[in-house]
Amino acid sequence: MLSFFRKRPKEEKALQAANGGSWRRIFESFTGAWQRNIEVDSATVLAYHAVFSCISLISADIAKMPLLLKKKVSSGIWTEHADQKISTLLRKPNSFQTRMQFFESWMNSKLSDGNTYALKIRDAAGAVKQLRVLDPNKVTPYVTDDGEIFYQVRPDNINGLEAEVMVPAREMIHDRFNCFFHPLCGLSPIYACGLTAMQGDAILTNSANHFKNGGKPGGVITVPGAVDADKAREIKNAWDEGYSGANAGKTGLLADGAGFMTIAMTAVDAQMVEQLDLTAKIICSTFHVPLYKVDTATTPSYNNIEALDQGYYSQCLQTHIEAIELLLDEAFELDPQTSIEFDLDVLIRMDTEGRYKTYSEGIGAGFLTPNQARNKENMLPLEGGDTAYMQQQNYSLSALARRDAQEDPFSSGNKSQTTIAPTPTPPAENESNKALSEPEQFMVRAMLKGLLTHE
């Protein structure tokens, strides 16, 4: 299916160089471990609870966030964008994995091996139709004399590779981190915590054997006189068979002056829990995972769950998330105005009270509309809810500066345009108005007052 990868002369040359010999990587848990025959078994390390928890936690948290295709509009705002080919691929990367399964495989490979190799599968038109995460143990990077990069991929049936091929870098997404020794070779955190995980596994194995023996420490059988090796082996096997394991606690019987002396538990045995806690702390530190995410005994109070998740994101997840987003942008050859981003709202989510308080303050400040807040809560918009609101008592800084520049900044600033005439004085009583009766005088005063008011 992928024979077209080997059509170019440079790729044939790289394949010939690979067949003739290659640079092999030897990963040691510490310098000289290989010469001293100290082996860090990957299967044992991955089975240790702290390593397993860190890898599965990071992989699941990244995989649960949906991917959004966004485009930058003329106003400078990034909005969701629809592209049938890319959007479909982001929801279903290949024919046998969901989006979550795909990114879990991506992160599992990166965290356990330090490298993730995702192969682009193209259709007849040359467009990417599938992305498949390869087994990192079956991929080896090569660099030609002129600096071009190729990847040797050995047969992998689940990904449709029936023969060994040389894949050019343009057809491979290579996510790596901790590239201490070579820019194309990443290192897993297991490189730093492998011995710690092996130590923890040894502690748990010894503990299991201890409790398999009935939870009692071993001892020494003393026999007077000389005992040959066969007789000593017979006595020991008889004791183990009759009084250990399921038979622990039964009454023992020894003859010929033999005795059993119990060995008291040492201080190292008594500190098993502390040793296990130390291994978990070291492993979490290499994966940059907060300890409370793995050790439930150290779980903090959830007074501010957003701050805890924000710290976990910036300390542990952000570098992986940014790396995936950049690699996908390059894989799909997106223009600078288009980008693929994870939806962080799924990961960092406040409690109900905190969210509602934030919405209320945002709407009151005028930068958030009611319908925008409802959209974040997956609620239908309301009529009139697209209007931003601002309280009347808020003033701009320029308006306050103009006010303070006045001679009297604290005056009302409103002068009446109408001059209120003084209350008319009733005419003095003389001979002409003496003849007016009291009701008539009242009517005259009312008419004068009305005329002055209308003026």
Confidence at residue 455, expressed as pLDDT on a 0 to 100 scale: 46
Q: Which residues of 336-367 are buried (b: 16+ CB within 10 A; e: fewer)?
A: eebbbbbebeebbebeeeeeeeebeebbeeee
Asked if 284 and 291 touch (Cβ cutoff 8 Å), the reply is yes
Q: What is the mean pLDDT of residues 368-396?
A: 80
Give residue 1's pLDDT: 40
In whole angstroms, give the CA distance from residue 369 to residue 133.
42
Q: Which residue has the tokens 């290989």?
A: 34
- A 10 A CB-CB count for 445 gives 14
Question: What single letter denotes the amino acid at residue 189?
Answer: P
More confident residue, 276 or 393: 276
For residue 374, what are the contacts with CB-CB under 8 A and spacing of at least 6? 380, 381, 382, 385
Which residues sit opposite 220 in a β-bridge? 261
| Percent share of the chain, pLDDT over 90 | 30
How many whole angstroms separate alpha carbon 272 and alpha carbon 266? 10
Higher pLDDT, 390 or 184: 184
Residue 429 has pLDDT above 60, yes or no: no
Q: How confident is the model at residue 220 (pLDDT cuts 50, 70, 90)?
A: low
Summarize pLDDT for 44-97 with one digit per residue, the tens: 899 999 999 999 999 999 999 999 999 988 777 888 888 888 989 999 999 999
The better pLDDT of the pair 218, 96 is held by 96
| C-alpha radius of gyration, the chain, whole number | 41
Give residue 20's pLDDT band: very low, low, confident or very high (50, 70, 90): very low
Could you read off the pLDDT of 418-427 as tens digits, one per residue? 454 555 555 5
DSSP assignments along 203-251, one per residue: HHHHHHHHHHTTS---EEEE-SS---HHHHHHHHHHHHHHHSGGGTTSP
Residue 318 confidence (pLDDT) = 93
Lowest average pLDDT, out of 55-59, 120-124, 181-185, 208-212, goes to 208-212
Q: What tokens were used for 61?
A: 């948290």
Q: What is the pLDDT of residues 295-327, one digit of tens each?
A: 766 777 666 777 888 888 999 999 999 999 999
The band of 18, judged by pLDDT with boundaries at 50, 70 and 90, is very low
pLDDT for position 23:
41
Q: Is residue 338 scored above 80 in pLDDT?
A: yes
Torsion angle of C-alpha atoms 208, 214, 215, 216, degrees rounded to 10: -120
Give pLDDT tens digits for 151-177. 999 988 888 788 889 999 999 999 999
Q: What is the mean pLDDT of the chain?
A: 78
pLDDT at 269: 57
Q: Are 47 and 202 in contact (CB under 8 A)?
A: no
Tell me which of 390 and 215 has the higher pLDDT.
390
- In this prediction, residue 324 carries a pLDDT of 95
The confidence band for 25, taking pLDDT boundaries of 50, 70 and 90, is very low
Share of the chain above pLDDT 70, in %: 69
Which residues are CB-neighbours of 359 under 8 A, at least 6 positions away?
Answer: 368, 373, 376
Domain ranges of the chain: 222-263, 351-405
CA 116 to each of CA 93, 235, 321, 389, 417: distance values in angstroms, whole numbers, following the listed order: 15, 56, 14, 49, 80
Q: What is the mean pLDDT of residues 3-30?
A: 47
**Full strand arrangement of the beta sheet holding 165-168:** 139-143, 149-153, 165-168
Position 185 scores a pLDDT of: 92
Summarize pLDDT for 243-273 with one digit per residue, the tens. Answer: 665 556 566 666 666 666 665 555 555 577 7
Tokens of 363: 């709407």
Looking up tokens 């981003």 gives: 341
pLDDT reading at 105 higher than 60: yes
C-beta separation of 62 from 342 below 8 A: yes
